[in-house]
Amino acid sequence: MRFFKSDNTAAVCDEILQAIAEANAGAAVAYGEDRWSRRLDQVYGEFFGREVRVFAVSSGTAANSLALATLCPPWGTVLTHAEAHIERDECGAPEFFTGGAKLSLVTGAGAKVSAADLAARLHWFEPHVHGVQPRMLSITQSTERGAVYAPAEIAELAKIAHARGMRVHMDGARFANALVAQPVTAAELTWKAGVDVMSFGVIKNGGMNAEAVVFFDPALVADFEFRRKRAGQLFCKGRYASVQLLAYLESGIWRRNAERSNALAKRIAEAAPQYLSEPFATNQVFMNLGQPRIDALIAQGFGFYPWGPTGSGECRFVCSWDTPEDDVDALCAALQKLG
Amino acid sequence: MRFFKSDNTAAVCDEILQAIAEANAGAAVAYGEDRWSRRLDQVYGEFFGREVRVFAVSSGTAANSLALATLCPPWGTVLTHAEAHIERDECGAPEFFTGGAKLSLVTGAGAKVSAADLAARLHWFEPHVHGVQPRMLSITQSTERGAVYAPAEIAELAKIAHARGMRVHMDGARFANALVAQPVTAAELTWKAGVDVMSFGVIKNGGMNAEAVVFFDPALVADFEFRRKRAGQLFCKGRYASVQLLAYLESGIWRRNAERSNALAKRIAEAAPQYLSEPFATNQVFMNLGQPRIDALIAQGFGFYPWGPTGSGECRFVCSWDTPEDDVDALCAALQKLG
Amino acid sequence: MRFFKSDNTAAVCDEILQAIAEANAGAAVAYGEDRWSRRLDQVYGEFFGREVRVFAVSSGTAANSLALATLCPPWGTVLTHAEAHIERDECGAPEFFTGGAKLSLVTGAGAKVSAADLAARLHWFEPHVHGVQPRMLSITQSTERGAVYAPAEIAELAKIAHARGMRVHMDGARFANALVAQPVTAAELTWKAGVDVMSFGVIKNGGMNAEAVVFFDPALVADFEFRRKRAGQLFCKGRYASVQLLAYLESGIWRRNAERSNALAKRIAEAAPQYLSEPFATNQVFMNLGQPRIDALIAQGFGFYPWGPTGSGECRFVCSWDTPEDDVDALCAALQKLG
Amino acid sequence: MRFFKSDNTAAVCDEILQAIAEANAGAAVAYGEDRWSRRLDQVYGEFFGREVRVFAVSSGTAANSLALATLCPPWGTVLTHAEAHIERDECGAPEFFTGGAKLSLVTGAGAKVSAADLAARLHWFEPHVHGVQPRMLSITQSTERGAVYAPAEIAELAKIAHARGMRVHMDGARFANALVAQPVTAAELTWKAGVDVMSFGVIKNGGMNAEAVVFFDPALVADFEFRRKRAGQLFCKGRYASVQLLAYLESGIWRRNAERSNALAKRIAEAAPQYLSEPFATNQVFMNLGQPRIDALIAQGFGFYPWGPTGSGECRFVCSWDTPEDDVDALCAALQKLG
């Protein structure tokens, strides 16, 4: 099968495996006190151009949920897009980790939170004990529909959120894809635009099983470390997670892999632009093919997901760092031949 | 001030106070083993025309949350209207009691769940571990906008829910108002239409501080009693709660009080029908007066709540079992004089 | 049956019922904004001789759990006696309300926390993320075995707790019984000795269904009000709870009722001192009668609870504010006749 | 430094790394639907000699907590030893995952649950809503003090637990060490003795970052998979966890590594038997050296943990699969030279 299901079906990058092998020498202090874990703050601080606190966890869901639980009380609510991963694809993990905080949903094209809708939605919350209180905004970069936020767009949302006393979380499961898609720095796309904490994705872009939670203000870390331990996310052999996070930045694969997957996706988008249901931006391509064409592609051995509610006729193709060129060639050809 | 803020600003009915006084004689076994508590199942069973299990709690929020927590697992979701009390006015209590289950919102005129929208919303949930699973439907009778569901409407919703393996909860904080507004029986409006569990409201319609959770299938009670105890809702002097629930039905005040509050509200609605923003149905009247008229009424000493987001110009008048006739006369006159 | 099961089998004091009736006049703002609720801080402040913040809830379990949840994070632990009500008799309510904090158990005669054992137990907790962190000490006054803490004893415990950064909670379900048993003031027995927050019991000593949570430092209230609402413990007709708390202090029944129940219990203790398994102190009497004597008393129509694990041969007699003199006479006589 | 701190300071076994590298070829379906994950049930079924259901998670804490949460309701309690890892070293993770269930502590030499104490402790729980209900027994094999349970000992405990309607969990973080220390099969040491679910340890004995939860009765799996997802423990690139679990059994390292670490520890125990504070059994050695001798060893460059409360004078030496022979030689020599 030619796989376009997701970037999480990809293998692990050689650079990551190599770094793991190199770290595998002799004893190391357990539970995050090893020398790899101790370097995280510095290496990520350099990447982002400011002091940060960085912690490894084993999944994007854990990263998102722990970040939210640290900054949102149980009686708070997290404003987020109705199609956000934290709302649709984590089986209620944010509610579990926060002790029952609520997600309040906002709309916007391309799964991007609309500033106007955010402002309107916030009007519903009153500062009394009868209702949950807005405490966080969570945005996804790049979004669940492949779109990207520009720094100014993030800044606009963050301004609204901060004015209300809320903190801003970025789900950056595909952050590298969003970063290389724009002529901006990691700093401009995060803390300079008002992001307070982010889930920094590594796995989808070549990693194995470690993601990072990055706090842009050390004071916000609060009781994060207790919560992480309590969630079973503090690893005894912590070096094997941390070294992935280090190699991801230090080897440069964050950029190389993201550029490659974006470029491959662009070829797909350009092969059949008439079907695009979202403007092309990163490594995900959304098309309204209709069920007969979807069936035809499946019959030809292409693996991909239908999108939206059953029967919508929409589908999604995702390219990963290791999608074979040959598979992309085949898909482009197949798309062009569809009647 | 002439109070139309809510039916929960009302006093307690004499019949309830009298019943409390009568129960106040000598010792009684604690924690729900007293003879009043032991009669609940029978008295409510007769009211509803079938075997039921009934439990007293101290607030509508507790009733709703405990009912939901008993039937919805933490990884489940409760489908409900976007304006439902459990979503808007309980500070996340359902999420707290359920251990982090999610409320998924549906729309519909009059704060009634639309069957079409419910069906459409359910299409989004897939039977896999990535998303929360629909396990409950919660409807409010009468609704947060004063509307009532007819038995057939409930049955249609319940059919959709049950087909999906979901249970149906009714928030009946104002159930009596809905019941006397229709030529139907309590049975027809609940279990015969597919309701599995309900929060049976007493406080707003003359009670002091006891509501009932009514299970229409004893098998569904499951671990409710452990959850109630654990929530601080099992009262040591349980007789004082249970006797309210008994007197409410046995004295007939459920009907008398609801009929009176509905009738008073009808006079308000008919005094200025041009302003109605919702069709009149029970004891709540919604009007689009616009801010200047709202300000004018406030200046004349009427107490009521603006409704909707800030600046909507809508407001709500609620009549209770003890709203003075004179206050209604005054309000009707004032409404008719508005320019 | 002659009831010595518990003081929660008692009826409600006339003064409480009278106050409720007086409050039952006309409309009142809902949800704790009524004029009775607004007087709580002042009246309790005068009783305790300092600024306090006071909130009504519907049960002792709710009072304890909300107080603990406000001051103990989910990754914290509450040190308490192994026989404490919060450990033994609340079905895990503290764990529920705190989001899974732990109770860590300490021993001590008379169900009083031993300072030596507390200090020893605290040695086990290390300031790292692997273990829960001690954040609260909870003591019961009077204890589950009828004993009382003197101010100096509380101060010794509080000093240990505060030195460790912990807060001190007092479960005062029977606080009045402890207070009238000693020549001390309410202030000396609470905040002057280091208590930070208390559950102030009213129900067992003549109330109906309202207890108070009293914060001795307004800064500690933190998010208590959100947690109370979210727990279904903010009552729409709040006046009926608050007026009980007011009448309890203002009518003086707190003292009269506690003195009476203590005095009656003293007669029982003195009738058969050879059986006492705990020194007499308040309104609970513990005796090692052995099963045959227990059976004999039961056969004579006395109602009381065996105590300790099955087969221990110990039992408990509790006097309440309304225990008939005649019942006490009968019990004393029966005890003296036991072989 | 010569490391005897824990077996989790060890590196990863070559066989594990090799298996990861072999699995790293091309795309694989995400989220546990890959061909490695699909083989887990079969391979572990063969190891245990019966049908099992097996799930990968990223830490022992996660394994323990998810197993407990699946089988213990929030109002239940888990009986376990006072020194158990779930009580002492997981920062309240079981309480978090279960939604606030309680751990109830039992004693016993060698951190083994004493059957007599278990039975006695169970007497305290009554079948009513006031107290939490015993639902699980959790034992550790080998224990936190290096001891092992024989099959008959487990069977005795399991019989007590099952008679009470409880399920039996085994924390097998060091299961292999316990298994090779006795002439028994994996089946005899688990399900044949009454274990219902276990946390099967891989990491400490040569793995990288995957542990297994093994259900010996498929019916007990219940909603485990929803809970795992919701806890951030369902990995998108699941093959890298599952392949570790497969290689651990199929390569035979489970036995080889455990035999080696036990043998090295035995040398330490035999070098200075006069100091042993626990009988030698597996790969952990406990000695009462007193602080001066502890300091002397630290000064010589040995790394190990003091044990028990501050100032106890006890310490622990742990050997892992890769502890250098040379380090053991040095430690034995140093111990023999202590005055």
pLDDT attached to residue C339: 76
Gap from B14 CA to chain C (nearest CA, Å): 9
What is the Cα–Cα distance from C80 to D234, expressed in whole angstroms? 37
Q: CA angle, C27 as apex, C22 and C33 as ends, to 5°?
A: 90
Q: How many angstroms separate the most distant Cα atoms in chain A?
A: 61
3-state secondary structure of D252: coil
SS3 D178: helix
Check residues B244 and D124 and name the one with the higher pLDDT: B244
Smallest Cα–Cα separation from B213: which of B56, B97, B32?
B56
| Percent of chain A residues topping a pLDDT of 90 | 96
Q: Give strand pairing partners of C78.
A: C103, C136
pLDDT digits (tens, 9 = 90+) for D253-273: 999 999 999 999 999 999 999
Q: Within an 8 Å CB–CB cutoff, is residue D237 touching chain A?
A: yes
What is the DSSP-derived secondary structure letter of residue C111? G
Q: What is the pLDDT of residue D140?
A: 98
> What pTM does this model have?
0.97
* Cα distance between the two ends of chain B: 22
**What digits encode the pLDDT tens for the residues A10-28?**
999 999 999 999 999 999 9
Buried b (16+ CB within 10 A) or exposed e, C131-146: bbbbbbbbbbbbbbbb
Decide if A123 and B309 are in contact by the 8 Å CB cutoff.
yes
Nearest alpha carbon to residue C308 among C287, C280, C331: C287
Query: D55, D226, D229: which to substitute to probe chain B, counting the most B Cβ within 10 Å?
Result: D226
* Mean pLDDT, residues D88-111 taken together: 98
Residue of D20, D24, D239, D318 to mutate when probing chain A, most A C-beta within 10 A: D24
**Residue C166, SS3 per DSSP:** coil
Q: Which of D74, D223, D234 sits opposite B75 (nearest CB)?
A: D223
Looking at residue A310, its pLDDT comes to: 78
Would the CB atoms of A131 and B102 count as touching at under 8 Å?
Answer: no
Phi, psi dihedrals of residue C16, rounded to the nearest 5°: -70, -45
The answer on pLDDT for D49 being more than 80 is: yes
**C-beta of residue B40 within 8 angstroms of C-beta of residue B249:** no
Long-range contacts of B269-278 (CB under 8 A, 24+ apart): B271/B331, B271/B332, B271/B333, B271/B335, B271/B336, B272/B332, B272/B335, B272/B336, B272/B338, B275/B335, B277/B314, B278/B110, B278/B145, B278/B146, B278/B147
Place of tokens 């996070």: A245
What are the residues whose beta carbons fall under 8 Å from the beta carbon of B144, sequence distance 6 or more?
A: B81, B83, B84, B85, B88, B111
Cβ pair B74:D234 closer than 8 A: no
Residues, chain D: 339
Q: Which of A109-113, B45-49, D122-126 has the lowest mean pLDDT?
A: D122-126
- Do B231 and B213 touch, CB atoms closer than 8 A? no
User: Using CB atoms and an 8 Å cut-off, which of residues 72-131 of chain D contact chain B?
Assistant: 73-75, 99, 129-130
Prior bond of C114 cis (ω within 30°): no
**Residues whose CB falls within 8 Å of the CB of residue A99, separated by 6 or more in sequence, listed in order:** A69, A74, B96, B100, C74, C99
Query: Which stretches in chain B have pLDDT values below 70?
Result: none
C128-169 pLDDT per residue, tens: 999 999 999 999 999 999 999 999 999 999 999 999 999 999
Among residues A101, A106, A194, the alpha carbon closest in space to that of A153 is found at A194
pLDDT tens digits, one per residue of D199-243: 999 999 999 999 999 999 999 999 999 999 999 999 999 999 999
Q: Which of these ranges, A253-257, A270-274, A305-309, B50-54, has the smallest mean pLDDT?
A: A305-309
pLDDT of residue A309: 79
Are A26 and A336 contacting, i.e. CB atoms less than 8 angstroms apart? no
Scanning every residue of chain B, which has its alpha carbon at the shortest distance from the alpha carbon of A86?
B131
Q: Which token pair is B325?
A: 């006739």
List, in order, residues 6 or more apart from A83 with CB less than 8 Å away.
A111, A143, A144, A145
Q: Which residues have CB under 8 Å from A237's CB, separation 6+? A: A28, A30, D8, D10, D12, D203, D208, D209
Q: Summarize the confidence of residues D59-75 as an average pLDDT.
A: 98
Distance CA C229, CA C238 (A): 12
Residue type, D211: E
* pLDDT for res A308: 82
Mutate to test the interface with D, among B37, B129, B227, B230 (most CBs of D within 10 A): B129
Residues 6 or more apart whose CB falls under 8 angstroms from that of D275 comprise: D287, D288, D289, D335
Strand C53-57 relative to strand C2-3: parallel, antiparallel, unpaired?
Answer: unpaired
Rounded CA separation A339/D179 (Å): 64
What is the per-residue pLDDT for B201? 98
Handedness of CA B86, B90, B92, B95 (dihedral sign): negative
What is chain A's mean pLDDT, rounded? Answer: 97
Enter the tokens of residue D63.
């394994």
Which residues of chain B have a CB within 8 Å of the CB of A90? 130
Q: What is the DSSP letter of B112?
A: P
Nearest residue, CB atoms, B226 vs list D129, D230, D234 = D129
In this prediction, residue A1 carries a pLDDT of: 86
Of the candidates B27, A62, A119, the one whose C-alpha atom is nearest the C-alpha of residue C323 is B27
For residue C180, CA distances in Å to A45, B306, C6, C158, C323 come to 62, 50, 19, 22, 18
- Let me know: does A330 contact A324? Beta carbons within 8 Å: no
What CA–CA distances, in Å, run from C69 to A78, A181, C174, C224, D158? 21, 46, 21, 8, 35
Q: Are C97 and A100 in contact (CB under 8 A)?
A: no
Residue C311 pLDDT > 90: no
DSSP string, D21-67: HHH-SS---STT-STTGGGHHHHHHHHHTS--EEEEES-HHHHHHHH
**Within 10 Å of residue C303's Cβ, how many Cβ atoms?**
17
Q: Where are the alpha helices (DSSP H) in chain D?
A: 14-23, 40-48, 60-71, 85-88, 93-98, 115-122, 151-163, 175-180, 224-230, 239-250, 253-271, 291-299, 325-337
State the complex-level ipTM: 0.97
Residue B280 DSSP class: -
Residue A339 has pLDDT above 80, yes or no: no
- Kindly tell me if the per-residue pLDDT of A111 is higher than 90: yes
Residue type, A52: V
In three-state secondary structure terms, D189 is coil
Distance from CA of C25 to the nearest CA of D (A): 37
Average pLDDT over residues C303-330: 94
Q: Does A326 touch chain D (CB under 8 A)?
A: no
Tell me the count of A-C CB pairs closer than 8 A.
39
Q: In this predicted structure, what is the pLDDT of residue C237? A: 96
A3 contacts A323 by C-beta, under 8 angstroms = yes
pLDDT band at A325 (very low <50, low <70, confident <90, very high): very high
DSSP A250-305: HTSHHHHHHHHHHHHHHHHHHH-GGGBSS---SSEEEEE--HHHHHHHHHTTEE-E
Query: Distance between CA atoms of D56 and D40, rounded to whole angstroms?
Result: 9
Work out the mean pLDDT of chain D and round it to a whole number: 97
pLDDT tens figures, B250-262: 999 999 999 999 9
Q: Which residues of B touch D234 (CB under 8 A)?
A: 129
Q: What gap in Å lies between CA A113 and CA B230, rounded to an integer? A: 39
**Best mutation target, B68, B102, B305, to test chain A (most A CBs within 10 A):** B102
The pair of structure tokens assigned to A227 is 């919560």
Could you tell me whether strands B102-106 and B133-140 are parallel, antiparallel, or unpaired per DSSP bridges? unpaired
For residue A96, which residues of chain B lie inside 8 Å, CB to CB?
A: 74, 99-100
The minimum CA-CA distance between D55 and chain B, rounded to whole Å, is 14
* Chain C residues touching B66 at Cβ < 8 A: 232
* B168 close to B160: Cβ distance less than 8 angstroms: no
Type of residue numbered B277? S
**Strand pairing of D284-288 and D302-303?**
unpaired
Cβ atoms of D250 and D43 closer than 8 Å: yes
Interchain pair D24, A12: CB under 8 A: yes
pLDDT above 70 as % of chain C: 100
Inspect the interface and report whether the beta carbons of A232 and D65 lie closer than 8 Å: yes
Q: How many alpha carbons fall within 13 Å on the CB side of residue A238?
A: 24
Angle (CA) D3-D5-D9 rounded to 5° is 75
Tokens of B74: 């933490």
Q: What is the nearest CA distance from C283 to chain A, expressed in angstroms? A: 39
Residue C51 is which amino acid?
E
Nearest of B27, B239, B25, B37 to residue C302 by alpha carbon: B27
Sign, Cα dihedral of B142, B148, B150, B156:
negative
pLDDT of residue D152: 98
DSSP label at B276?
B
d(CA D257, CA D176): 9
CB C199 within 8 A of CB C252: no
D3: which chain A residues are within 8 Å (Cβ-Cβ)?
27
Is the CB of residue A165 less than 8 Å away from at least one CB of chain C? Answer: no
